[in-house]
Amino acid sequence: MHNETLRPETTPSTLTSFTPNVDASKLNHAPGSLVDKYGRRVSYVRLSITDRCDFRCTYCMAEEMTFLPRHEVMSLEECLQVAKVFVGLGVNKLRITGGEPLVRKEAMWLIERLGALPGLDNLVITTNGSQLDRFAPQLKAAGVKRINISLDTLKADRFKTITRIGDLSKVIKGIEAAQAAGFKRTKLNAVMMRGTNDDEFVDLVQFAIDRELDLSFIEEMPLGEIHGRNTTYISSEETRELLAQRFELIPSTESSGGPARYWRIPGSESRIGFISPHSHNFCDTCNRVRITAKGELYPCLGQNDAMHLLPILREAPGDEAPLRQAIMDSMGIKPFGHDFTQQMDSPQVVRFMSMTGG
């Protein structure tokens, strides 16, 4: 555990004690729910437990990353305390992210305790798959409901180029290990990049169908000081039109509780999803917030305003009241939405995706 006292960070000038100006009961929200000023209930938290990763994906981080010193990262006990408070405020879905969460020492200690939290219906994890060969059975036993695995290519040499240091065979073994452990609806996430993997979209769909996996295609997002995305960006609509030449895609109303919009292929159990932060902004129904490994609560992935929870955790260890109030107040800075389209070549959010936790 870390007990160092941190200097309180400056919070946005607009952050004050917040009370929703909407009647939650009229919106069919349960009493005590987290509700923002637009009447949206926050029921989903993405919790990063490390900024470190064993890959260096080009769209996610710099090749020479400077990672956080240990004392600036939430301890696992602090992560658990944050999760408990959120669940107490009606959050029923928690996604564990990184970096790569399974490289965090003793990560399973935390995951086992999260899986036992009363009221948490959906504990899920996003991973690059490199550690699943070791951890899949333990994750299943701990109560993890579903796994998302990043996979942008099926070509080993290309995989090495995208991840800089990754080994595709380890990820394939990880996918197989997750299935062997009994995980259902395992989902692959593929970031769409023109000139990099756009010739593999059909192959990725067929790979998912053959293994009864779900697959989501993700529009590239302008996070971190990475320029030139205007030349690599591909819209969901363009990819869908490409896939329609090979597969019959039927719109589905299914939801996994996140931003993906799903399509079905007749005769297949797989769902093909599209996450479209540019072309089909999903902000009006946003139900989530993100917590970084250093305890920053970001109400919006595409904005810089944050509530800094780590100083609160360490100034009053074990006292949940200040933490609960800070989380409730953060709803006052949750914006209606973001505008990634205007930021493609001039990112306004300079933190890398690996720092935000996906």
* Residues placed in the known binding site: 46, 53, 57, 59-60, 95, 99, 126, 150, 187, 221, 283, 286, 288-290, 300
What are the start-end ranges of the E strands in the chain?
44-48, 93-97, 122-127, 146-150, 187-192, 214-219, 250-251, 261-264, 271-275, 288-291, 296-298, 307-308
Q: Give the SS3 label for residue 102.
A: helix
CA atoms of 257 and 237, how far apart (whole Å) = 21
CA atoms of 48 and 61, how far apart (whole Å) = 15
Residues in binding site for GTP? 46, 95, 126, 187, 288-290
Amino acid at 317: P
CA atoms of 85 and 120, how far apart (whole Å) = 11
Amino acid at 195: G
Residues in binding site for S-adenosyl-L-methionine? 59, 99, 150, 221
Q: Report the alpha-carbon angle 238-244-246, nearest 5.
A: 125
Neighbouring CB atoms inside 10 A of 14's CB total 9
In the numeric block, which tokens belong to residue 306?
A: 């944050």
Q: Which of 296, 278, 276, 275 is closest to 355 using CA atoms?
A: 296
In the numeric block, which tokens belong to residue 67?
A: 């990672």
Q: Locate tokens 């909407």: which residue?
A: 22
CA atoms of 125 and 88, how far apart (whole Å) = 20
Residues in binding site for [4Fe-4S] cluster? 53, 57, 60, 283, 286, 300
Neighbouring CB atoms inside 10 A of 103's CB total 18
Q: Which helix (H) or strand (E) element contains residue 123?
A: strand 122-127
CA atoms in the 13 A half-sphere facing the CB of 46: 25
With contact defined as beta carbons under 8 Å apart, do 282 and 276 qualify?
A: yes
Strand partners, 298: 290
